Amino acid sequence: MNWKQSIADVKTIAVVGLSDKPERYSYQVAEYLKSQGFRIIPVNPNIDDVLGEKAYPDLLSIPSDIKIDLVDIFRRSEEVVPHVKEAIKRGNIKTIWMQEGIVNDEAKKLAESQGMNVVMNFCLMKSYKKINN
């Protein structure tokens, strides 16, 4: 599956590693996606809220009645696997998206073995703009 198909039906995005600092790229990407109508769920154990949304320490802390379509990861490549394991444990997540510069083949194989779509080393904001502008 290509990245265009991965974002076609997305409504809710959990952003792992979302910073509350406006100068950080994770903040700018999440702010843009929210402005485009996506529901953003911040995942960061070090903040309480950002962009007017309650933050959660991890994917498993997000209430189970909130359906997550895509997990957008802003963490170092070597820190991705635990988040993929949380996504698998949570269930019903269609896509794992690793931002530009993030590549982890172990995480990719793990997610794909559970039927998830995986995009690595791509910016979700740039990709969305490419297909909508």
Res 102 pLDDT > 60: yes
Helix axes 81-90, 105-113, angle to 10 degrees: 10
Average pLDDT, the chain: 94
What are the φ and ψ backbone dihedral angles of 28, each rounded to 5 degrees?
Answer: -65, -40
- The answer to whether residue 1 scores a pLDDT higher than 60 is no
Q: What confidence tens digit (pLDDT) does each residue in 40-53 have?
A: 999 999 999 999 99
> In one letter, which amino acid is 77?
S
| Closest to 68 measured CA to CA, from 43, 45, 50 | 43
For CA atoms 81, 91, 63, 16, give the dihedral sign: positive
pLDDT single digits (tens) 77-88: 999 999 999 999
Residue 116 DSSP symbol? -
Confidence grade of residue 131 (pLDDT, cut at 50, 70, 90): confident
How far, in whole angstroms, is CA 4 from its chain's centroid? 15
SS3 96: strand
Two structure tokens written together for 116: 């998830």
- What is the pLDDT, as a whole number, of residue 9? 84
Q: Where are the domains of the chain?
A: 3-132
**CATH classification for the domain delimited by 3-132, as one of 3.40.309.10, 2.30.33.40, 3.40.50.1370, 3.40.50.720:** 3.40.50.720
Residues 55-68: tens digit of each pLDDT: 999 999 999 999 99
Distance of alpha carbon 43 from alpha carbon 53, whole angstroms: 10
> Positive or negative CA dihedral for 104, 69, 91, 114?
negative
